[in-house]
Structure 1
Amino acid sequence: MSENGAAKPTVFIDGEAGTTGLGIRERLEREGRVSLMSIPHESRKDVKVKRALLADVDLVVLCLPDEAAKETVALADSLPNGGPRILDASTAHRVSAGWAYGFAELNADQAQEIRKARRVANPGCYPTGAIALLRPLVDAGLIPPNTAISVNAVSGYSGGGKSMIEAYEAGEAPAFQLYGLGFAHKHLPELQVYGGLSRRPIFMPSVGNFRQGMLVSIPLHLDTLPGHPDPAALEAALSAHYAGQDLVKVIPTGPNDKPDAEALNDTDLMELRVYGNSDHSQALLVARLDNLGKGASGAAVQNIGLMVGLE
């Protein structure tokens, strides 16, 4: 029971044994504001058991592969009144009709959209950083939607799944590697849609030999943009967009500042920076976050709070 005598919201994490699920569970247990429900391990593939639990909880969080997430959503949809509210941490529904995008800082109305939505898609880690940098500048008219954009990013290996984690922790993986070289990474659709881009961006992810942490960077030729904005104008637009936000901050910076990808580990914060040289009309937008925090579990807990009224 909560302090005011009302029952705590009930939450079921479907896939709680994975990296994201564990992170969500640990945060929710630490906060103690919801009642966490589980399926016994031996019954976790029993559809009848899952259906009964879905019918009995306020919110289910899906930390599953895409196809399994779709199956659970279909099961929930078959229940009276559409079943519980759903927060999906997979990529299955991030650009689907009827699903709210779970980046609360996207615009002035997004948090309210998440509050009232029955179906919310938790963002991907890389798109969280890229969209945070791009969308305010597109909305402000500083970056046209059809601009040719390249997004470069590096993450700790914890975002790569069980096999990648095992390879790095066994010392069997390279110090640094590019991937997604088919130009079809699964994060591209949401990056384009919620970044406000009409032209498909180039997205080049990479992984380094560190467990967690992330840097997302976007280079810009300022003399190709309307009005030739200087770096200060970009920083001012970002600062105006995120004014008053608790989890996303714009950090003034200079050319000697070298952001450490791991500096925000074990937090749910994200920092945005603008590096630039007005003489050469060039700039670099940089987002720093914990890929397991604001990039995954931390964002999920933020969305859970919005959805069940525990902000």
Structure 2
Amino acid sequence: MMQKLFIDGAAGTTGLEIRERLADRAEFRIVTLEGDARKDPAARAGALNDADFVILCLPDDAAREAVALIENPDVRVIDASSAHRVADGWTYGFPELEPAQMAAIAGSARVSNPGCYPTGFLALVRPLVRSGLIPHDWPISVNAVSGYSGGGKTMVAEFEGEAAVTAHRAYGLSLSHKHLPEMQRHARMAHPPIFQPAVARAYRGMLIEVPLPLHALPRKPSLAAIETAWRDAYREQPLIRIAGTDGVNAVEIEADAGTDRMTLRVFGNADTGQARLIATLDNLGKGAAGAAVQNLNVMAGLDPVAGLRV
């Protein structure tokens, strides 16, 4: 049976990418508001309450407002903003994160899409914390760079306009980025990581890196132990790949651009006992629209990767 889907914020970057992935899907009929109706509270409330599924592609405050307008208890919501990622009553929409996460998403009425940076960070770190290779109170740092499309229309114009003057810019210098509560909560760590985000002059793509002093960790894990923990965690998960590193001398931000997958790699130096954990993904794919469609598939009881670019 075809189910009705309302995308609130369908004209934005994430909304457009979601519609693209669903364009040939017969399982859903997409409802959108055109023109002035998009800003009409009555029209929005009607669309929100008349849908089987709602995907919110809105700023945080607007997402909270949209949820407050939903009175129909049968409407199921996926929020692509950061408004509900650590909120009570919401299921974290990272199906591969925990053994029971996909089942929790399937049975939930309220699902919050992960952030793009946390998706890579958590994929790298959570299995290692869960298996005891990284203590839950270890001081973790994470370096990350994203394509500028993650900053929306304003940042796209900034990096593509005639006045663009930089190729790479670090930000979040106050160490209080809004992703930090999400990263700490879902990694199940005692402290937030030292998060060092940056944006590069690449439209899409993302590279997230966690350095580890293996020699200082209590269990002194090997590179093979880290890879084994990942493979155990992501067995039979088609959107997460563990890549070999033999002969690899560089990893590019665009390594998984244009896809909905994520690739994990562990590099290291056995002599110094140091490692670099690297995740690559598309900030608009597994980091946003692809994740929303994956969650929609799971909630609707469909193939989790239907319509996605593996």
TM range (shorter): over 0.9
Q: CA deviation at 1:299?
A: 0.5
Q: Give the Cα separation in 1 of the matches to 2:172 and 2:24.
A: 36
Q: CA deviation at 1:40?
A: 2.5
Structure 1 residues 98-177: aligned runs within 5 Å: 98-171=89-162, 172-177=164-169
Structure 1 length-normalised TM: 0.94
CA 219–255 in structure 1, closer or farther in 2 if over 3 Å, else same? farther
Q: CA deviation at 1:261?
A: 1.3
Q: Give the Cα separation in 1 of the matches to 2:278 and 2:24.
A: 31
8 A contact 1:58–1:85 mirrored in 2: yes
Match for 1:230: what amino acid? S
8 A contact 1:33–1:310 mirrored in 2: no
**One of 265, 270, 282 as aligned partner of 2:274:** 282
Q: Tell me, yes or no, if structure 1 residue 71 matches structure 2 residue 72.
A: no
Task: Give CA-to-partner distance per residue, 1:220-274, whole Å, 9 cap, x none.
Answer: 0112212211111111111111111100011121364311211211110100000
Q: Give the Cα separation in 2 of the matches to 1:242 and 1:80.
A: 36
Q: Tell me, yes or no, if structure 1 residue 10 matches structure 2 residue 1.
A: no
The match for 2:55 is 61
The match for 1:227 is 219
**One of 75, 81, 88 as aligned partner of 1:84:** 75
Structure 2 length-normalised TM: 0.95
Structure 1 SS opposite 2:111: strand
Q: CA deviation at 1:32?
A: 3.6
CA 110–173 in structure 1, closer or farther in 2 if over 3 Å, else same? farther
**Structure 1 spans left out of the alignment, 5+ residues:** 1-5
Structure 2 SS opposite 1:279: coil
Give percent identity, aligned residues only: 50
The match for 1:23 is 17
Q: Which moved more, 1:257-266 or 1:111-120?
A: 257-266
Q: Give the Cα separation in 1 of the matches to 2:235 and 2:22.
A: 27
8 A contact 1:254–1:275 mirrored in 2: no
Q: CA deviation at 1:136?
A: 0.3
CA 129–183 in structure 1, closer or farther in 2 if over 3 Å, else same? same
CA 200–283 in structure 1, closer or farther in 2 if over 3 Å, else same? same
Say what the alpha-carbon RMSD is for the aligned residues: 1.2
Task: Give CA-to-partner distance per residue, 1:62-108, whole Å, 9 cap, x none.
Answer: 000100000010111xx143x51100000000000110000000011
**Structure 2 spans left out of the alignment, 5+ residues:** 304-310
Q: Tell me, yes or no, if structure 1 residue 266 matches structure 2 residue 258.
A: yes
Structure 2 SS opposite 1:262: coil
Q: Give the Cα separation in 1 of the matches to 2:222 and 2:300.
A: 42
The alignment of Structure 1 onto Structure 2 pairs a total of residues equal to 302
Q: CA deviation at 1:195?
A: 1.4
Match for 1:48: what amino acid? A
Q: CA deviation at 1:129?
A: 0.2
Structure 1 SS opposite 2:212: strand
The match for 1:51 is 45
Q: CA deviation at 1:38?
A: 1.2
Task: Give CA-to-partner distance per residue, 1:273-293, whole Å, 9 cap, x none.
Answer: 000112101001000101110
Q: Tell me, yes or no, if structure 1 residue 245 matches structure 2 residue 237.
A: yes
**One of 289, 292, 303 as aligned partner of 1:297:** 289
Q: Give the Cα separation in 2 of the matches to 1:160 and 1:50.
A: 25
Q: Tell me, yes or no, if structure 1 residue 188 matches structure 2 residue 180.
A: yes
